[in-house]
Amino acid sequence: MDVLLLSRLQFAAATMFHFLFVPLTLGLSVLVAIMETKYVKTGDETYLAMTKFWGKLFLINFSLGIVTGITLEFQFGTNWSRYSAFVGDIFGSLLAIEATAAFFLESTLIGVWVFGWKKISKKAHAIVMWLVAAAGTLSAIWILMANGWMQHPVGYTIRNGRAELVDFAAVVFNKFAILEFFHTVSASYVLAAFFVMGISAYHLLKKQHIDFFTRSFKISLVFGLIFSILVVIGGDMHGVHVAKIQPTKLAAMESHWETSKRAPLHLFAIPDEKNEKNIIEIGSIPGILSFLGYHDFNAEVKGLKDFPADERPPVLISFISFRTMVGLGAYFVLITIIGMFLRNRLIESPLFLKVMFLSIPLPYIAIELGWVLAEVGRQPWIVYGLMKTSDAVSPIAGSQVLTSLIAFILVYGLLGAVGFYLMAATARKGPVFN
């Protein structure tokens, strides 16, 4: 049994499952804070009911995120001990800061928010929710800073066979990490907006609590439109930086084999990685890849053939992940713009409401594929250009990893079933007015 493959599968399964909950936590905390602020400003009890209803869904989701996140971090010691030994001075520091300065703060504030009803003033209670959202964002900053360093290592020196931190500011202000944070958090806000709109659409189709869910829909619609546009802008900025820092990833996600100026964009392609070519190319538009990568139609884009075969990422996975993610991103912008035109006649637009309800899974898919592209697209490196993934795995038996992989799938499957059942039951039940 291949220890490397099994370890990668286990980490991928744990990470992708954990990230089903993280983006909703980030986005829904902000939406709940907005709703509670409206309650404080207006005194309207409907906004209070909205705060409690969506807040309950937030808490269920947050609880699942905690459980899956804790087990995820242990894998750096169990499955990736050589990686931890090599970069622990940098990577470990960032994770430690995230846990002590952000996660514990967020958890404490959530406790205050949950048990603080009628014990602190309305205004103070709303402020606590804003602080919860800020703490969650702070947590994301440190995690994405760590991942950004893996994508573009800076501020280090190699000493005694280890990467040691020499410039903390360089790590903190790593442009790759900043762009990754902007893109990821914007996408998380889009996911939360579609989550609220989708559940609201479900109830509006059944003509239940019309005023309540119309208000919920409108708040999340504006939120979703703003951040759908920002996701596209952030994705463009991030893509330009990827072209500069990770040219192999750019070539793989565009299935671009030959170095050329006015490099074409293929709307669809089937790569033949063994023979270093595309079997099928559909919709090739000259110059578009050059423009997307360098904002210059005549720019030269390096092809995969210019890189050693053992340093190229998997092309098909990268290509499909990128195309699907971009297509969904365009859909989110389009459907929220349509929603703005229909926002005052939602009940009279059942087709649109059905589309929004069915769209709930789409931001999840887009975000997961974004991470597939980010991580698969940097292979074979675990730290880009510095340490290969094959050199990072722990010296353990394949049977051990297989056993833990099966256990992870079973436990996470059970957690997922219970968690999604609770969320679905809560969402179907609707708000409680008191």
Rounded to whole angstroms, the Cα distance separating 358 from 380 reads 37
Cis omega (within 30 of 0) on the bond before 247? no
Does residue 70 surpass a pLDDT of 80? no
Q: Strands 260-261 and 300-301, how do they pair?
A: antiparallel
Q: How far is CA 260 from CA 67, 157, 249, 265, 303, in A?
A: 48, 35, 16, 12, 7
Q: What is the pLDDT of residue 434?
A: 63
H helical segments located in 88-209: 93-97, 104-115, 122-151, 168-172, 175-205
In single-letter form, the type of residue at position 100 comes to: T
CB 155 within 8 Å of CB 143: no
Q: pLDDT exceeding 90 applies to what percent of the chain?
A: 35
- How far is the C-alpha of 27 from the C-alpha of 31, rounded, in Å? 7
Report yes or no on whether pTM surpasses 0.85: yes
Q: What sign results for the dihedral spanned by CA atoms 161, 167, 168, 173?
A: negative
Q: Given this model, what pLDDT does residue 64 score?
A: 84
* pLDDT higher than threshold 90 for residue 66: no
Burial (CB count within 10 angstroms: exposed 0-12, middle 13-18, buried 19+), residue 260: middle
pLDDT at residue 128, as a whole number:
93
pLDDT tens digits for 251-309? 888 888 888 888 888 888 888 777 778 777 787 788 888 888 888 888 888 888 888 88
Residues 6 or more apart whose Cβ sits within 8 Å of residue 204:
210, 213, 214, 217, 346, 347, 353
Which has the minimum average pLDDT: 53-57, 88-92, 429-433? 429-433
Contact 109, 135 (CB under 8 A): yes
263: DSSP letter: P
Quick one: pLDDT band at residue 363, thresholds 50, 70, 90?
very high
pLDDT at residue 401 greater than cutoff 90: no
Mean pLDDT of the chain: 88
**What residue spans define the domains of the chain?**
194-385
141-147: average pLDDT: 89
CA atoms within 13 A on the CB side of 221: 23
Model pLDDT, residue 330: 93
pLDDT exceeds 70 at position 228: yes
Confidence of residue 119 (pLDDT cuts 50, 70, 90): confident
Which tens digit of pLDDT belongs to each residue from 100-113? 878 788 888 898 99
- Average pLDDT (27-46) is 92
| pLDDT at res. 267 | 82
Q: pLDDT, tens digit, for every residue of 163-222? A: 888 888 998 899 999 999 999 999 999 999 999 999 999 999 988 888 899 999 999 999
Do residues 266 and 278 touch, judged by C-beta distance below 8 A? yes
- Stretch 363-392: mean pLDDT, rounded? 91
Q: Sort strands 162-165 and 156-159 into parallel, antiparallel or unpaired.
A: antiparallel
